[in-house]
Structure 1
Amino acid sequence: MTNPGAVIDSLDRSQIYEQGFENQIFSKIRPIFRETRDFLKFLQRIKYDHRQLPENDGRFKTDNLSRNLVSDVMQINVSIVVLNIYDVTEATMDFACELFYREAWKDSRLIWDTNKFRNKSEIALHESYVSYLWHPDTFVPNAISSKNPKPLSMSHRSLLRLRNNGIILYSRRLSLIVKCNMDLSAFPHDYQLCQIDFESYGYSFEQVQYMWSEGEFKALKLLEFSLPDYVISKAYVTSRNETYATGTYSRLHLCLVFDRAAGFYFLQIIAPATALVIVAWVSLWVDREIAIQDLITIILTISLLLVSYNGLMPRVSYIKAMDLYLGFCFLIVFVSLVKLAIMKYLRRNVQDDEFAPNNGETTNFQNANTIRNYETFNEKSSHNQEILESPANDP
């Protein structure tokens, strides 16, 4: 079976407008896309230019576009379904997300009579036909990277629908890695406010205005998912105008508040550091020579905890709450080490004073021994001298 998308993609756009639909080129798609064939004929008849910004005449109100619009401003109604959020990384200050991004706008040039479209008020077009229509040049200013719909993709596709009143609905699945400026001063009992921004790249707010949907599609919907380190406590949408050197542009904000779940850091860092401090204080009452070595080992262990957790954090210039806690634990153990060294020094001096005699007795005792040794030496010397001086015995 012929793939409709492949057939459409293989056609040159100029052939659609210049050669008509009786040509043999379009005989392949005629039995596949009757609605598409009628739509292409309609585009050819009205000489539609996809490069021209639609000019909506007067004011209008629809289900999807529930606000009254001024004729010279194109309004883009946006709704988002957040499928998943994952990989929230403090070291790089970003997070990844999957979402359905829907845009709805009105193009007055595409208003048709239902009698000419087999009494249908809405037609579904292949996703490749978005290139034949004017569509917003939406981009995400704070996105690091993105993954857009691709032909024959099993994960990222898009949807295009057109109503007889000129309302166009364009929905697509996006994968984004978004930058988030985090404040880690209260880590690990912190919360982070992250935003996903949407705005037009080339059209100023005098030409295109982005607004959150208030019609049949809710502006924001979060599906059920879980994060290992965070809980999404709040999600809301807002909008404002952003001014650059090239002009002022309409911008939408999807705001997510991440509350950190500190269980991992409590079990891996806080609890071990607390236990080490308790062991350090207990070692002060242990009367053994290796107590100082134990305290030094504890200091090195706390330093290792401090270095290992900072390896997961960005290099920020401010002090975090975890830094204060581990620094306090380090200080307590260091003071314990100094206290133990002072106690051992004082104890050794006290023991030496208990077992040594006083200074006067020591001096007299040493003098008496010296005199006694001198007298003994003199007696032995006199005796030896007498033996040497006595006459020899006769034979």
Structure 2
Amino acid sequence: MTNYWTTLKIWLSIVSLFLLFIQLRVSGKGTANFRAIEKRILDSIIGDGRYDSRIRPSGVNASQGQDGPALVSINIYVRSISSIDDVTMEYSCQVTFREQWNDNRLQFDDMQGKIQYLVLTDPNRIWKPDLFFSNEKKGHFHEIIMPNVLLRIYPNGNVLFSIRISLVLSCPMDLKYYPLDRQTCSIQMASYGYTTDDLVFMWKEGDPVQVTKSLNLPRFTLQKYLTNYCTSRTNTGEYSCLKVDLLFKREFSYYLIQIYIPCAMLIFVSWVSFWLDPNATVARVSLGVTTLLSMATQISGINASQPPVSYTKAIDVWTGVCLTFVFGALLEFALVNYASRSDVHQAAAKQQQQVAQRQAKWNIEHSTMEAGGNGDETTYGLRGDGYRSCEIHAKPNKRKNWCKRWLSKFPTRSKRIDVISRIFFPFMFALFNLVYWTTYLFRDDLHMPLK
């Protein structure tokens, strides 16, 4: 019984292998027949002497005997944006560019739906639109390992052409609000030789532009992208044109950490001299000159990474005012030093005057004593004269305001200048910050709705 079942299993295995061999032969023959059908179709539509790639396809209303322009639908997939350069005003991107049009000369029988489309490995065999990127600076195709080109021909004559390209495009920028600005960079596509009478580009319905979700820019954020038409007229005619506007917002956190906060800290350091002794000349001069040179070096580094433009940028306003505050702190010490020397001279002159007054009073009293008479009467007479003199020359005491009372606590002018500077400089810097950030953060164009 065991031998019977073993023999049966062996025969079943042999039959299964035989059936599988027959199926593979039949499928291989079917595949070979399918490839032969594709070859025959391609030979019938683009074989030698059957198709002329120099002639554009018939346009709209061709069936009515009126040959209009050929319509080409455009679709773009932005794969990456590598860099946006403020100095050269350009940006680099990699896109998958797709065109779709109808060429009735490429129609074929789909064998009752068995053939969905044909793939053509040599795109130069058929006619293609003469599109070019009008704001291109550099560009190249990708040919590793094979040329990244796709061309499909559908039974109704529709043609899909897709290619991956890398571009360096110009992007004119307005840097008045730098680094609190938004920039609009475009991708402009137009026909080079065919006018709108022969060729018209239009955006594909639905979703004409796609952007990869993994897009990551170090200093910008892509806020919006808009499609538009930019048909242009020249001396040779009117040419169809399409445009994609990419709206970028500059990331401010980098500039806040690298520029704004260091400049503010240099200003705060320059104010330390207001708390130093007015006679500490070496310390105050060293502090003022050091902060001034540091501020100048900071501004030089900032300007080296920016394009030379003829107008004032927001960052120029900030650095210019910060440099003015540091320079003002240095000039304040010069004024304090001058006032300190004047205080010394005034103190010496006042001391001499007091000595002279005491000497004169002693002389008067001594001469009166020598003149004789009742000492009490003489003293009384002097007191009476003095009393009458006070009645004639004394002025009523006016109550001082709080500012004068506060300043009277500091006897020297140099000290008063330092104390006033401790309040005046921070107040003016806070006022400047209020005006600066209100002007640039709450301007109208920054909060306009994106269309």
Q: TM-score range by the shorter chain?
A: 0.7 to 0.9
Q: Which residue number in structure 2 is paired with residue 286 of structure 1?
A: 276
1:54 has 2:43 as partner: no
Q: Which residue number in structure 1 is paired with residue 237 of structure 2?
A: 247
C-alpha separation between the residues in 2 aligned to 1:90 and 1:143? 17
Quick check: 2:45–2:105 contact (8 Å CA) kept in 1?
no
Instruction: Deviation per CA, 1:58-93: give whole Å up to 9, x if none.
Output: 379xxxxxxxxx841111100011111121100000
1:234 has 2:234 as partner: no
Q: CA deviation at 1:345?
A: 1.1
Aligned mate of 1:108, from 92, 98, 104:
104
C-alpha separation between the residues in 2 aligned to 1:297 and 1:189? 29
C-alpha separation between the residues in 2 aligned to 1:156 and 1:292? 68
1:78 has 2:74 as partner: yes
Q: Which residue number in structure 2 is paired with residue 96 of structure 1?
A: 92
Q: Which residue number in structure 2 is paired with residue 12 of structure 1?
A: none
Aligned mate of 1:220, from 186, 209, 221:
209
1:299 has 2:302 as partner: no
C-alpha separation between the residues in 2 aligned to 1:175 and 1:352? 77
For 2:333, the aligned partner's letter is L
**Secondary structure of residue in 2 paired with 1:92:** coil
Q: How does 1:57-68 map to 2 (within 5 A)?
A: 58=61
For 2:92, the aligned partner's letter is A
Q: Are residues 154 and 244 of structure 1, via their aligned partners in 2, closer, same or farther at CA, if it must alter by over 3 Å? A: same
Length-normalised TM-score, structure 2: 0.66
**Secondary structure of residue in 2 paired with 1:84:** strand
In structure 2, list runs of 5 or more residues that go unmatched. 1-31, 357-451
Aligned mate of 1:358, from 352, 374, 397:
352
Quick check: 2:133–2:188 contact (8 Å CA) kept in 1?
yes
Q: CA deviation at 1:36?
A: 4.5
Q: Are residues 84 and 57 of structure 1, via their aligned partners in 2, closer, same or farther at CA, if it must alter by over 3 Å? A: closer
Identical columns (%): 29
C-alpha separation between the residues in 2 aligned to 1:237 and 1:178? 17
Q: Are residues 333 and 51 of structure 1, via their aligned partners in 2, closer, same or farther at CA, if it must alter by over 3 Å? A: same
**Secondary structure of residue in 1 paired with 2:240:** strand
**Secondary structure of residue in 1 paired with 2:230:** strand
Q: CA deviation at 1:44?
A: 2.6
Q: CA deviation at 1:118?
A: 8.8
**Secondary structure of residue in 1 paired with 2:173:** coil
C-alpha separation between the residues in 1 aligned to 2:93 and 2:322? 38
Length-normalised TM-score, structure 1: 0.75
C-alpha separation between the residues in 1 aligned to 2:45 and 2:304? 61
Quick check: 1:211–1:252 contact (8 Å CA) kept in 2?
yes
Q: Which residue number in structure 2 is paired with residue 158 of structure 1?
A: 149
Q: Are residues 345 and 37 of structure 1, via their aligned partners in 2, closer, same or farther at CA, if it must alter by over 3 Å? A: farther
Q: CA deviation at 1:269?
A: 0.8
Q: CA deviation at 1:359?
A: 8.0
Q: How does 1:258-273 map to 2 (within 5 A)?
A: 258-273=248-263
C-alpha separation between the residues in 1 aligned to 2:146 and 2:224? 28
Quick check: 1:55–1:72 contact (8 Å CA) kept in 2?
yes
Q: CA deviation at 1:48?
A: 0.7
For 1:236, the aligned partner's letter is L
C-alpha separation between the residues in 1 aligned to 2:40 and 2:175? 57
Q: Which residue number in structure 1 is paired with residue 418 of structure 2?
A: none
More helix, by proportion: 2
C-alpha separation between the residues in 2 aligned to 1:98 and 1:49? 32
**Secondary structure of residue in 2 paired with 1:165:** coil
C-alpha separation between the residues in 2 aligned to 1:312 and 1:31? 65
- Give the root-mean-square deviation of aligned CA atoms: 2.5
C-alpha separation between the residues in 2 aligned to 1:102 and 1:52? 21
In structure 1, list runs of 5 or more residues that go unmatched. 1-29, 61-69, 363-395
For 1:328, the aligned partner's letter is V
Q: Are residues 316 and 333 of structure 1, via their aligned partners in 2, closer, same or farther at CA, if it must alter by over 3 Å? A: same
Instruction: Deviation per CA, 1:171-228: give whole Å up to 9, x if none.
Output: 011100000000010011000011000111111111111100016xx20111121100
Instruction: Deviation per CA, 1:277-315: give whole Å up to 9, x if none.
Output: 111122222122221221122111111111111111111
Aligned mate of 2:167, from 171, 176, 184:
176
**Secondary structure of residue in 2 paired with 1:52:** coil
Q: Which residue number in structure 2 is paired with residue 125 of structure 1?
A: 120
Q: Are residues 255 and 136 of structure 1, via their aligned partners in 2, closer, same or farther at CA, if it must alter by over 3 Å? A: same
Aligned residues: 318
C-alpha separation between the residues in 2 aligned to 1:156 and 1:83? 17
C-alpha separation between the residues in 2 aligned to 1:182 and 1:122? 45
Quick check: 1:36–1:125 contact (8 Å CA) kept in 2?
no
**Secondary structure of residue in 1 paired with 2:174:** coil
C-alpha separation between the residues in 2 aligned to 1:46 and 1:156? 27
